Amino acid sequence: MRDILIDGVPVLDLLEITCSTSQAAAQSNCDQSSISRLYRHVSHQLGLDFRKSQGRYRAHTNKAVLRSLRHTAQLLRLARGSGHLQWLGHPCSPLPQAWLGEERTLGLLRERVLDLAVIAGPESCPPNWTDRTQPFPFGDWVMVDLPDEGQPLDPTAVVLRCDNLEQPAMQELISQLRQTLVRRNCLPFARVGPTDSCHALLPAAGHPDRRHAGARQRRTQPRLGLAPGAA
């Protein structure tokens, strides 16, 4: 059986992000039945009662245990470098591209399921963020501008936890995103290697969802701003 921290927690993360065992399998090197077996095993071993409720997967008990494991898992990703971070909201991201809804995306950042999210659009940044050269903290999170001289009316920024801003891996990823915007090209800097079980960008060869993966990656960037009172 796979390791709970290295293999199990990433599967729980994918299920919370995608809300689907088939989509979690499509984002990993695992088939759907393996995803189901693994999350049930982890749930049983840790007493999480991790299951789908009202359309979303989540732990219903022992949440503090899962929170501690997710903190450890995030520290491991940060130590391994920018290519192992879990983020979304950009055509190059290793996870489903779209925001999951403002409140939910910020919640996944708070719980360390996500490391970073990219937002874009005129309504995406708080109106009181007057100095875009400086990070904008709000609550548990901080927003960092991604300058885009080509489209000054379509600002782009990233959102992450305040306590992760100075992490070298996070700074590297932000720098790579800035370079990508300048080049106007998707570079595969954020892809996780195939040896990292359940975190590959594309489904395994022969998986029924593989033929749809390219279409998912080419979806246009959604636009979603922070609530007016978020700051």
Query: In this predicted model, what pLDDT tens digit does every residue of 185-222 receive, in sequence order?
Result: 443 323 222 223 333 333 333 434 434 444 433 333 33
228 lies in a domain? no
Q: Report the pLDDT averaged over residues 162-175.
A: 97
**Local confidence band at 183 (pLDDT 50, 70, 90 cut-offs):** low
Q: Which domain holds residue 106?
A: 4-217
Task: Say if 172 falls within a structural domain.
Answer: yes
User: Count of CB atoms within 10 A of residue 133's CB?
Assistant: 6
3-state class (DSSP) for residue 58: strand
Rounded to whole angstroms, the Cα distance separating 106 from 140 reads 9
What mean pLDDT is reported for the chain?
A: 79
Asked whether residue 150 is domain-assigned, the answer is yes
> Which phi and psi (to 5°) does residue 226 adopt?
-80, 150
The per-type count for the chain, helices as H runs and strands as E runs, is 7, 7
**Tokens representing 225?**
């701003």
Q: Is the pLDDT of residue 64 over 70?
A: yes
Sign of CA pseudo-dihedral 89, 94, 96, 102: negative
- DSSP-assigned letters across all residues of 108-154: HHHTTS-SEEEEESTTSS-TT---TTS-EEETTEEEEEE--TT-TTS
Chain length of the chain: 231
Looking at the chain, the whole-number percentage of residues with pLDDT higher than 90 is 58
What's the token pair of residue 164? 């992760």
Which residues contact residue 68 at a Cβ distance below 8 angstroms, ignoring those fewer than 6 apart?
none
At residue 182 the predicted structure's pLDDT band, cuts being 50, 70 and 90, is low
Residue 222 lies in a domain: no
**Residue 203 placed within a domain:** yes
Distances (CA, A) of 220 to 1, 29, 74, 120, 143: 39, 25, 28, 11, 22
Please check the confidence at residue 31 and state whether its pLDDT lies above 80. Answer: yes
Q: What is the pLDDT of residues 100-154, one digit of tens each?
A: 888 899 999 999 999 999 987 767 778 899 898 999 999 999 999 987 665 554 6
66 burial level (CB within 10 Å; 0-12, 13-18, 19+): buried
Residue 59 has pLDDT above 60, yes or no: yes
Mean pLDDT of 75-94: 93
Angle at 51 between CA 48 and CA 56, to 5 degrees: 125
Please determine, for residue 74, whether its predicted confidence score (pLDDT) is greater than 90. Answer: yes
Q: Is 95 inside any structural domain?
A: yes
Quote the pLDDT of residue 99: 80
| Whole-number Å distance between alpha carbons of 113 and 67 | 9
What 3-state DSSP class applies to 144? strand
- Helix, strand, coil percentages, rounded to 5, for the chain: 40, 10, 45
- Residue 143's DSSP bridge partners are 136, 159
* Model confidence at 95: pLDDT above 60: yes
pLDDT: which is higher, 109 or 182 = 109
Domain membership of residue 223 (yes or no) is no
| Better-predicted residue by pLDDT, 207 or 39 | 39
Total number of domains constituting the chain? 1
Q: Would you tell me how many other CB atoms lie within 10 Å of the CB of residue 115? A: 24
Is position 224 within any domain?
A: no
Which of 1-10, 38-47, 125-134 is most confident? Answer: 38-47
The confidence band for 20, taking pLDDT boundaries of 50, 70 and 90, is very high
- Whether residue 229 is predicted with pLDDT greater than 80 in this model: the reply is no
Q: Are 59 and 66 in contact (CB under 8 A)?
A: yes
